Chains A and B, each alone.
Chain A
Amino acid sequence: MKRSNCNLEVRLLPPNTDYSSPQHHHNMMMETGRGSPQEQQQRQQLTIFYNGRICVCDVTELQARAILQLASREMEEKTRTPTASDAISSSLHSQLYSPTGLSMKRSLQRFLQKRKNRMEATSPYHR
């Protein structure tokens, strides 16, 4: 497929962005190839980094805008006031980096290693 020389760039701004500022409009505008409508319907490669995952796809400009809109809506929803259950799950979620979380990891590693050693010792293939 013939690739055009220009890249499609979309930027997602943090929730406290002032949407009315002229600068915002500039940032939200996507840089696509200037050209005829046919060229604008052309699919271009879009790389999305989101939530620890990478996705590469070919999209039209319209599709890219739709993705951007969906993503920013989701971001807005995530920054709303957390409910009690959010608080519980987020506090549990953060336990990984607490002293308890590290202790758990360490104990788990030792447990799995001990288990592995025991299984290897009793395995019929062990000499």
Chain B
Amino acid sequence: MKTEMGMGGGAWTEEDKAMVAAVLGTRAFDYLMTSSVVSENLLMAVGSDENLQTKLSDLVDRPNASNFSWNYAIFWQISQSKSGDWVLGWGDGSCREPREGEESEVTRILNIRLEDATQQRMRKRVLQKLHTLFGGSDEDSYAFGLDRVTDTEMFFLASMYFSFTRGEGGPGKSFGSGKHLWLSDALKSPSDYCVRSFLAKSAGIQTIVLIPTDVGVVELGSVRSLPESLESSKHSRRHRSQ
């Protein structure tokens, strides 16, 4: 594929593209490069909810009575163009590192690696490239200021640069169908819940939930494998509807 990214930080060399594909996964890379979302004419369908950030943070940072909380919570916000097409874009989100003992033993063993300087450098460069590609300024540049980028952080930060129209990606499918998705074994599942699956798997996410609402889609993830139970559904529903 020969898309030349001419603006927003200079042309991407073949080496750049290979690096981004290696870090994000090829599906995510292809998706970003061919994404034809035109955002100039997008109107916010609804105003933003001041409580949204608090709710998303609570889902992540405030364990419930069973000492459970999600590892990440993302709200994909709906926007609508004048022609009536909708698109889901980054609305808000929160994430945290897995606590000790939270990850599956398999993940823990797989993730034991010595500080991999090359991978860290590549992650920062990829984030920087995405930042400039999406019009970020040098002043707002953050990637090289991070001491290191964890697996969870890479998934979370890269997610910000994604948007989905009808039927595209996990959120797009969820919003389009109006159906929620509860995946308990994302690590083992052969199918991808989204173009971002590679990154989610790298972060050890075992449970992924997508809940469509009137104004967007809530995406939740946990490094624990959680069956869809009444209790965990209640936990997320309660936070959502407040």
A-side residues, CB < 8 A to B, are 85-101, 103-108, 110-112, 115, 119
Contact = CB atoms under 8 A, between A and B. Distances in A.
Contacts of B5: 85, 88-89
Contact of A98 (B40, B48, B161): B40
A88 B93 CA distance: 26
A97 B163 CA distance: 15
A24 B121 CA distance: 51
Interface of B: 3-8, 33-40, 42, 44, 48, 53, 77, 79, 89-95, 133-136, 140, 142, 146-147, 156-157, 160-161, 163
Contacts of B135: 92-97, 101
28 contacts: A85-B6, A86-B6, A87-B38, A88-B5, A88-B33, A88-B34, A89-B7, A89-B8, A91-B36, A91-B38, A91-B40, A93-B134, A93-B135, A95-B39, A95-B89, A97-B135, A98-B39, A98-B89, A100-B42, A100-B89, A104-B90, A104-B161, A107-B90, A108-B142, A108-B157, A108-B160, A110-B94, A119-B147
A93 B7 contact: yes
B43 to A, nearest CB: 8
Given A85-B5, A99-B42, 20 more contacts: A88-B36, A89-B5, A89-B7, A89-B133, A91-B37, A91-B39, A92-B135, A93-B135, A94-B40, A95-B134, A96-B136, A98-B89, A99-B79, A100-B39, A101-B134, A103-B48, A103-B90, A108-B140, A108-B160, A119-B147
Given A99-B79, A100-B39, A105-B140, A111 B8 contact: no
Contact of A100 (B147, B156, B157, B163): B163
Contacts of B90: 100, 103-104, 107
B137 to A, nearest CB: 8
A111 B133 contact: no
The majority secondary structure among interface residues of chain B is loop
Contacts of B91: 103
